[in-house]
Amino acid sequence: MPQPTEPAPRQPLYTVTADSLVAVDFTPRDLTPRFRRRPSGPYRRLFALPGTRAFTAGNLLARLPMGMFSVSAVVMIAGARGSYALAGAVTATGLAATGVAGPWVARLVDRYGQARVAVPATVTAVLGSLALLLCVRFGAPDWTLFAAYTATATTPNLGGMSRARWAHLLRADPDALHTANSFEQAADELCFMLGPVLASFLTGTFFPEAGTLAGAVLLLTGMLLFTAQRTTEPPPRAGTGTARTPLRIPSLLACFVATGAVFGSMEVVTIAYADAQGHRSAAGAVLALQAAGSCAAGLVYGALKPRGPAERRFPVCLSAMAVLMFLPLLAARTADSLWALAPALLAAGMATAPTMVTAMTLVQDRTPADRLNEGMSLVVTALLTGVAAGSALGGWAAEHVSPTAGFTAPVAAAVTALLLNTVSRIASHRFL
């Protein structure tokens, strides 16, 4: 009599679709497919990755003071010493020191890891902020203010470290990395929009040193939370390259200088124009519209799937920025009203984030993996250099020509960025 044979092991049948993985187990007990769906929407999928929410929360908390420290320092020093010139000189010295120290701190981050370098560097910066607070509070000599604020230059490039984590996690998914870069740019705009508002509220409501003190606490707390997320931290890599700059095409830095000049000149010229209209107190709110437009455009841009490589998209973004920068100039010349300028600034800001997102993608593509933080820090240095140059250019135009004519400065800077990119592309094709 034949013996009954054992049934063959059950083999599930897997079917892969665009947004789900279906496991169908054909048994009498379960004829219902089991679905394991991916979260819908590019940003929800982005933050579904383990550890991303925690390091983003810490980074945002630590990045918010970046928009607070300068405003807080100016209010604190000018209020105590009665000199805006001294306050401006101190903050300018800190900006210059950041441009020098930033790439060196970033190089150490690349070599030894984010947690090992960023925490002591942040502690040094926080101690510098507290030293500045105490020097102002107790009437120390003026030179001590410069020395204390210079120590804050060791603050790590928080946006660069966050982008480096995304580049490490999403190195095999360019579309998701595009979304992450867009989110980071929107976060930059949001922090620099809310930071001065928070600083002004704290210094005006409580005491002049409140903004600096709160910024130091937020910076240290956020950095400790950020660096505690070790699972998402890119591994340290000892650099083997001998190149003097980590960017494979250093001419890209010139575009960042010109782009920074757009930001710096627009800020100074808008303040001068609002002052000439008798609405200087409203200048901050009007400038916030530009940042809000950039933030919104960045989030929308990140939700779209990019078409073509970043090298082809970058000149398109620069062209759009150059065109949209004409809008504030036209509004100031034709309507001659701050309230007509406001929507023009909102529209002009919408070109900023897509340009910066695409530029950061180029930086990630053209920078060796073992020097990514250093490359991004050099970008920040180039932007800060451009901001300083643009502020000087816009201020000169507003004072010696007219506040309305001053709006030609951001237009000229945007056109210069486009021309620099065009010349670089022509030269690279000629020598290929």
Q: What are the tens digits of pLDDT across the range 28-76?
A: 444 444 434 555 688 998 899 999 999 999 999 999 998 788 878 888 9
Structure tokens at 354: 């897509």
- How many Cβ atoms from other residues are within 10 Å of residue 115's Cβ? 18
pLDDT at site 40: 65
> What would the mean pLDDT of 350-377 be, rounded to a whole number?
85
> What would the mean pLDDT of 252-268 be, rounded to a whole number?
87
pLDDT band at 3, cuts 50/70/90? low
Per-residue pLDDT tens digits for 272-315:
888 888 876 677 778 788 888 888 998 899 888 877 788 889 99
pLDDT at site 68: 86
Query: At CA 342, angle to CA 339 and CA 344, rounded to 5?
Result: 120
pLDDT higher than 60, residue 233? yes
d(CA 257, CA 263): 10
User: Looking at per-residue confidence, does 120 or 431 come out higher?
Assistant: 120
pLDDT higher than 90, residue 237? no
What percentage of the chain carries pLDDT values higher than 70?
Answer: 86
**Long-range contacts made by residues 403-408, C-beta under 8 angstroms, separation at least 24?**
403/269, 403/272, 403/273, 403/275, 403/276, 403/332, 404/273, 404/329, 404/332, 404/333, 404/336, 406/265, 406/268, 406/269, 406/272, 406/273, 407/266, 407/269, 407/273, 407/328, 407/329, 407/332, 408/329
Provide the H-helix boundaries in 206-336.
Answer: 210-227, 251-276, 283-303, 310-324, 326-334
pLDDT at site 171: 85
pLDDT at site 36: 45
Whole-number average pLDDT of the chain = 83
Specify the CATH number for 247-432; select among 3.40.50.1820, 1.20.1250.20, 2.60.120.10, 1.10.10.10: 1.20.1250.20
Per-residue pLDDT tens digits for 126-144:
999 999 999 999 999 999 9
d(CA 353, CA 320): 11
- How many Cβ atoms from other residues are within 10 Å of residue 234's Cβ? 21
> What would the mean pLDDT of 96-104 be, rounded to a whole number?
86
pTM, to two decimals = 0.76
pLDDT band at 109, cuts 50/70/90? very high
pLDDT higher than 60, residue 354? yes
DSSP category for residue 235: P
Judge whether 351 and 297 are in contact, CB under 8 Å. yes
pLDDT higher than 70, residue 12? no
Query: At CA 325, angle to CA 322 and CA 337, rounded to 5?
Result: 165
> What would the mean pLDDT of 200-228 be, rounded to a whole number?
92
- In CATH, what class is 51-239? mainly alpha
Domain with CATH 1.20.1250.20 in the chain: 51-239, 247-432
pLDDT band at 214, cuts 50/70/90? very high
Per-residue pLDDT tens digits for 149-192:
999 999 998 988 999 999 899 988 888 999 999 999 888 888 87
